[in-house]
A and B are shown apart, each in its own frame.
Chain A
Amino acid sequence: MTSITNDLPPPPRGLLRRLAGWLHRRPSVRLGGLLAGPVGWLVIVYLGSLAIMLLNAFWTRDAFSGQTIYVPTLKNFEDLINGPYPGITLRTVALAAAVTVTCGLLALPIGYFMARIASPRLRNALVVAVIVPLWASYLIKVYSWRLILAEEGILNWALAPLGLKGPGFGDVAVWLVFTYIWLPYMILPVYAGFERIPESLLEASSDLGGRSWTTFRRILLPLVFPAMVAGSIFTFSLTLGDYIAPATVSTTIFIGNSIFANFGAGNFPLAAALSLVPLVIVLIYLLIARRLGAFNAL
């Protein structure tokens, strides 16, 4: 046997090596260097702009001159409570809830099929099919729906022989478009959730006397539910703040449209106050989602 010895020359002691050694002995400096950029971005740019928005909500606009008056006041919040806004808020939350529930109901069978029935080849193809629409421009997708739902659009044309008519533009159209656009965000976590459930759990349920429906209701559904809540964070919050889709296929005003309208009219303080509404709703939603275990499912 030959003995194994290290006959390589020692590594040269250059400046970079010395620096690496110095950093190796100071973990806090290393961590600081690593996080300085992202934390700086998060605090200054992200949280900073949120703070400015919050601050803006306490100014008002002089109705006559259109100038912002920098005197703190709660007038914007009074407008939020008294104006048309409670109704708009309620309508928006109802829409977001409807979109979320629809996405959940659609994602459940699709995710189940992808995770547990499809062959690996088909599964990959389906994952791609779900992801690819996310790469397409949001505007293109919304305008495509405008074409589909138009009076002389493809939907009415296809339904005509059956004596039926599409929903046309309006609230149903908004619900359809949102469901279509955000569906991938629900399918992906639900699919991953189903994939995480070991086959043996289903066998065990069956072994203990559970028929397919019982196994679905008692084992599969509760185990995939946190994943559905995780998906709903996207479908719900994205619907809540969007204004382009409603403006394209409907004339109904949602919170996003109100913010956009006020912003366009130069009433930044009221727009800022309005922006806080979806923010607060989403925060409450996230707290509930955390209780339901959604963050463990992401």
Chain B
Amino acid sequence: MAGIDLEVMDGEFFSMLGPSGSGKTTTLRMIAGFELPTAGRILLHGEDVSHRPPFERDVNTVFQDYALFPHMTVGQNVGYGLMIRKVPRQELDLRVGEALDMVRLSGYEQRKPSQLSGGQRQRVALARALVNRPRVLLLDEPLGALDLKLREEMQIELKAIQQEVGITFIYVTHDQEEALTMSDRLAVFNQGRLEQIGAPADVYERPITRFVAGFVGISNLLTGDAARSIIGQEGTFTVRPEKIHLAAPDAPVGEDEITASGRIREVVYVGPDTRYIVLLDAGSELVVTQQNLATSSTDVLAARGNAVRLVWKRQHVLPIKDGSRTEES
């Protein structure tokens, strides 16, 4: 891990996004106290907790494998933290009930974790952490083991729960869509370094490094000769695939628009939209995404090999810092 400087706001849904081995989970584990930093400090509401053991930190974790205690019932699992804090029996039962209510598992107190589905276990893990009302809730790829449909449902639910309880969530994921849809802000990690921090729209629309452009979305880079002849400038530029329009080779081009001619090399039909991979005459490749508003799969697949003109607004071209990391991280 290289130097990481992160500040998370109170009550924020903050995501740490990056490929495996990028340092996001290590960062999370250091906040939780499972790993100790060799240098630097971790402050929780101004208090230095860098060298405190996990049981003396006011944070709770939702583990990737849920880590439910198999020999305890759901109720005992959720009540574990309260039991250790010697919360009186009555209040404990009440709070466990409330927490299970929140994750829509009322009445499951007596079940064993082995009797639950993956999605239900995930909710129990969430309830077990939230019931302690921590300052910060850490979530380590909590939806990674769920299938796509359930994952999308849980994304919405998690976000709703976070807004309801108002606790700071720090969420680790390698899924860029998940990070974009759920977070108030997100941090992109790569090789133990922080590449960019910002609101989802900022990071997506204005990636500042080549890595971020490629990891959050499709990279679509223009460099060297291609950049010179199409943009008219030296450097590396990116343009998001949905900002590009496919037009006929002889279509007129507006004043504020940039254009490039090429040939469709490959067509990928993905249902609601189609991805065209266009080989530019200037010697680079761009991916173009078009919604299938009026076209069918037969139409779009027939377009393979056609000569086309790509058109996009000048404002959608973004300069990228070459190299893969920022200076100030």
Could you tell me the distance in whole angstroms from the C-beta of A179 to the nearest C-beta in chain B? Answer: 28
**Given A203-B34, A203-B61, A214-B84, are A209 and B67 also a contact pair (CB < 8 Å)?**
no
**Given A203-B34, A223-B70, A223-B71, are A210 and B55 also a contact pair (CB < 8 Å)?**
yes
**At the interface, is chain B mostly helix, strand, loop or mixed?**
loop
Q: Does B63 contact A (CB under 8 A)?
A: yes
**Among B54, B61, B69, B128, which residue has its beta carbon within 8 angstroms of that of A219?**
B69
**Given A208-B84, A208-B128, A209-B84, are A203 and B65 also a contact pair (CB < 8 Å)?**
no
**Given A198-B67, A200-B63, are A208 and B53 also a contact pair (CB < 8 Å)?**
no
Q: How far is the CA of A222 from the CA of B63 in the complex (A)?
A: 21
Asked whether, in the complex, the Cβ of A208 is within 8 Å of the Cβ of B60, the reply is yes
Asked whether, in the complex, the Cβ of B55 is within 8 Å of the Cβ of A207, the reply is yes
Q: How far is the CA of A142 from the CA of B85 in the complex (A)?
A: 51
**At the interface, is chain A mostly helix, strand, loop or mixed?**
helix
- Total interface residues in chain A, CB < 8 Å: 17
| List of A residues within 8 angstroms of B128 by Cβ | 204, 208
Type the 1/0 row for B271-312, where 1 means its CB is closer than 8 Å to any CB of A: 000000000000000000000000000000000000000000
Asked whether, in the complex, the Cβ of B84 is within 8 Å of the Cβ of A204, the reply is no
| List of A residues within 8 angstroms of B63 by Cβ | 200, 203-204
Q: Does A206 contact B (CB under 8 A)?
A: yes
Q: Smallest CB-CB separation from B53: which chain A residue?
A: A206
Asked whether, in the complex, the Cβ of A201 is within 8 Å of the Cβ of B84, the reply is no
**Among A200, A205, A210, A219, which residue has its beta carbon within 8 angstroms of that of B65?**
A200
Query: Most chain-B Cβ atoms within 10 A of its Cβ — which of A205, A209, A214, A218?
Result: A209
| List of A residues within 8 angstroms of B65 by Cβ | 198, 200
Asked whether, in the complex, the Cβ of A207 is within 8 Å of the Cβ of B84, the reply is no
Q: How many A-B residue pairs have C-beta atoms within 8 angstroms? Tell me.
A: 60
**Among A200, A211, A219, A223, which residue has its beta carbon within 8 angstroms of that of B55?**
A211
Please report which residues of chain B, range 144-202, place their CB below 8 angstroms from some CB of chain A when the two chains form the complex: none
**Given A198-B65, A200-B65, A223-B70, are A206 and B84 also a contact pair (CB < 8 Å)?**
no
| List of A residues within 8 angstroms of B53 by Cβ | 206
Q: How far is the CA of A210 from the CA of B84 in the complex (A)?
A: 6
Asked whether, in the complex, the Cβ of B71 is within 8 Å of the Cβ of A209, the reply is no
Type the 1/0 row for B45-81, where 1 means its CB is closer than 8 Å to any CB of A: 0000000011100011101110111110000000011
Q: How far is the CA of A218 from the CA of B71 in the complex (A)?
A: 10
- Spell out B's residues near A (CB within 8 Å): 32-34, 53-55, 59-61, 63-65, 67-71, 80-81, 84-85, 128-129, 132
- Spell out A's residues near B (CB within 8 Å): 198, 200-201, 203-211, 214, 218-219, 222-223
**Other A-B pairs beyond A203-B61, A207-B129, A219-B69, 17, CB < 8 Å:** A198-B67, A200-B65, A203-B32, A206-B34, A206-B54, A207-B59, A207-B60, A208-B80, A208-B81, A208-B84, A208-B129, A209-B55, A209-B84, A209-B132, A210-B55, A210-B84, A218-B80
